[in-house]
Amino acid sequence: MAIDSISTNNSYANFNNRQLDSTNESLASGSRINRSADDPAGQAVVTAMTSQINVQDQGVRNANDGVNLMQTADGALENIQSQIQTLTGLSVQAMNGTYNDSQRQAMNQQFTQTLQGIDQIAQTTQFNGMNLLNGENASVNIALGGSQNELQLADMTNGSTGLSGLSLNSADDARAANEMLTTVMEGLQETRSSMGAQQNALTTAADNLMNQNVNTQASRAQINDTDYAKAVTEQTREQVLQQAQIAMQAQSNQSQSDVLALLN
C-alpha cells in the first residue's frame, strides 16, 4: 500500500509540475498556445490567421510600392507638362507676324532642345529599374493579397505623342506646332488625372487591408494571447498544490522510515 501511495503521489506531482511549467511558459511568452498540445484546434486557427496577417501585411507594402511608382511617374509628367507649356509659349511667339524666319529659327533652337528634354524624361523615368513612360511597360500588376490592381502607364515619348518633327521655322510651322501641343496637353492632363485616380484606389486598398489586418490580429490575440489575471491565479493554485505534494511526500517518506525502524 505504501508503494502504491508513493506511486500515486509521484503521478500527481509530475502532473502538477507539467501544469505549472505550462502556466509559467504562458506567462513568460505572452502566448496561451506555445505548442499544438496546448490547444490543437486553437493552434490551427492561430496558424491560419497568422498566414492571413502576413499576406495582408505584404499586400499593404505592395500597395504602397504601387503608390510610390505612380508618384514617380506623375512627378515626371508634371515636369513634361511644364516643358510643354514652355513650348506652347514659344509657338505662340513664333506665330506673331512681327518676327521674321531668321528670328523664328533662333526660337526654334530653344524649341528643339526642350523637345529633346521631354523625350529624355520619358525615356529615362524609372522605378526600381522599370521604365515607366517610354511604352516599355504599359501596365503593372500590384498584388494585394487575394486580389490584384493593374496600374496603367502611358507612353510619353515624342514619337508616341506626336511631338516629333515639330518646328518653329515659319509662322505656319509654329501654328501647326501650337495645335499639336494643345492636343498633347489635353491628353497629358487626362493621363495625370487617371494616375491620380489610380493612386487613390491603391491608397484605399491599403487602408482596407490595414483595417482587416487590425481586426485579424485582434481575433488572433483573443485566441492565442495569455489571460494574465487567469494565468497568475492558476500559477498560484498550482504552486500551492506543488507545495502540498512536497509536504505529503515528505510525510510519506517519514512514515516509511518509522516503520522500517520498528522492524529493525
Looking at the whole model, is its pTM more than 0.75? no
Instruction: Kindly state the helix (H) or strand (E) to which residue 148 belongs, with its residue range.
Output: strand 148-152
Q: How many CA atoms lie within 13 A of 167 on its CB side?
A: 9
Mean pLDDT of 107-135: 97
Give the residue, 92 or 47, on which the prediction is more confident.
92
Cβ–Cβ < 8 Å for 20, 237: no
Neighbouring residues of 7: CB distance < 8 A, sequence distance ≥ 6: none
Q: Cα separation of 25 and 129, whole Å? A: 48
The reported pLDDT for the residue numbered 51 is: 87
pLDDT: which is higher, 96 or 246: 96
Does 228 have pLDDT greater than 50?
Answer: no
Given a cut of 50, whether residue 96 has pLDDT beyond it is yes
Instruction: Please say if the pLDDT value at position 208 is more than 70.
Output: yes
pLDDT value at 242 more than 60: no
- Kindly tell me if the per-residue pLDDT of 140 is higher than 60: yes
Kindly report, residue by residue over 83-93, the tens digit of the pLDDT.
Answer: 999 999 999 99
Residue % of the chain over a pLDDT of 90? 57
Q: Is the CB of residue 125 less than 8 Å from the CB of residue 131?
A: yes
Average pLDDT, the chain: 82
Report helix, strand or coil for 127: strand
Q: What is the pLDDT of residue 149?
A: 92
Measure CA of the first residue to CA of the last residue in the chain; give whole Å: 20
pLDDT for res 6: 47
Take residue 244 and report the three cell numbers written for it. 502540498
156, 170, 190, 231 from 69: Cα distances, Å: 16, 41, 18, 49
The residue-averaged pLDDT of 206-227 equals 80
